[in-house]
Amino acid sequence: RPGGPGPGAPRGRPDRRPEGEGRAADTGRLHHYDREARVLYLSGRLRPGQQAFRMATQLALLEYGPEIDRLASEDYDEGSATWPLARIGVANYFAGALILPYRAFHTAAEEVRYDIERLTDRFGLGYETVCHRLSTLQRPRLRGVPFSFVRVDRAGNMSKRQSATGFHFSRAGGTCPLWNVYEAFAAPGRIHVQIAAMPDGQRYLWTARAVTRHRGGWGEPGKTFAIGLGCEIRHAGRLVYSDGLDLDNASAATPIGMGCRICERLDCPQRAVPPLGQPLAIDENSSTFVPYPVKGTPA
């Protein structure tokens, strides 16, 4: 419970609600704010850091409502289905800045060379939250490493993406199977490191780790995502994950693309669909290692 809340601030309480109102644990809700009583109920399934994040989000909605409305309205019409989602997104950004103050977090990140696990231990927050905050450290005169941040599921659905780099995310459906964010699902809890090269020659250092969340009950479905955090190779030396890697060897990078449909790597053996706008070299009497050979390219 935050000390000394103002008259409009939420009061955090464990999940003990009056009879008949239902409980967050039973309804699947992680939090519930009672506007009449001005009380914020938090599920006991939330860890301390998650509870702090929910309280900070609710505080933003209560204390900065008009400003959040203005920001949400920059991209969405008030009254549309996406407008309240945009408001929550802005409030979540506020919460991240409140519980991970910019200067203190930036100093800690530089001190541990962007070691994500050490930062999660120091600030008591989850892996995804810390990665997301690292991708926002671009304040003028106090910039951190410019990162790209992504959250994907096993099917390749990208539910979060944010970039302070020139990395191009796929918007045509699907992403590259050679990208290490998908390797992370094979070994949950382990951080995977990859030097990846895009078709334009730009190289990136990517870290990826799978995170799983459960409701807590036996047999209840959980959700698993891979969290990717990457930076251009010129910044990689500032990261602890670059130790032992040959950052100058361009041939050691894994060639990836923005998705099979639009990828320019015509000789990729992992291609799942034919490339757009390219004539295929089809020969029923011959086969190649490349799934969809293109006319004029070696098989």
From first to last of its 299 residues, the chain has per-residue pLDDT tens of 344 444 455 566 555 444 334 444 445 788 999 999 999 999 888 888 889 999 999 999 999 999 999 999 999 999 899 999 999 999 999 999 999 999 999 999 999 999 999 999 999 899 999 999 999 999 999 999 999 999 999 988 888 888 877 776 665 455 788 999 999 999 988 999 999 999 888 999 999 999 998 776 777 778 899 999 999 999 999 999 999 999 999 998 999 988 888 888 888 888 888 888 888 888 888 888 888 888 876 65
Alpha-carbon distance 242 to 34, whole Å?
Answer: 48
Q: Tell me, yes or no, whether 3 lies in a domain.
A: no
pLDDT at 214: 77
Residues 254 and 270 in one domain: no
Alpha-carbon distance 299 to 96, whole Å?
Answer: 49
Alpha-carbon distance 55 to 99, whole Å?
Answer: 10
Q: Per 3-state DSSP, what percentage of the chain is helix, strand, and coil (rounded to 5)? A: 30, 20, 50
Alpha-carbon distance 174 to 177, whole Å?
Answer: 9
Q: Tell me, yes or no, whether 127 lies in a domain.
A: no
Residues 150 and 258 in one domain: yes
Residues 258 and 271 in one domain: no
Residues 227 and 279 in one domain: no
pLDDT at 248: 94
Q: How many independent structural domains does the chain possess? A: 2
Cα dist from 194 to 94, 151, 254, whole Å:
31, 16, 7
Q: Confirm if 50 and 128 have CB atoms less than 8 A apart.
A: no
Strands 148-152 vs 223-232: parallel, antiparallel or unpaired: antiparallel
Write down how long the chain is. 299
pLDDT at 283: 83
Residues 186 and 244 in one domain: yes
Q: Tell me, yes or no, whether 237 lies in a domain.
A: yes
Alpha-carbon distance 15 to 40, whole Å?
Answer: 9
Rounded to two decimals, what is the model's pTM?
0.82
- Provide the residue range defining the domain that includes 247: 144-265
Strands 148-152 vs 158-163: parallel, antiparallel or unpaired: antiparallel
- Of the candidates 37, 35, 81, 41, the one whose C-alpha atom is nearest the C-alpha of residue 61 is 35
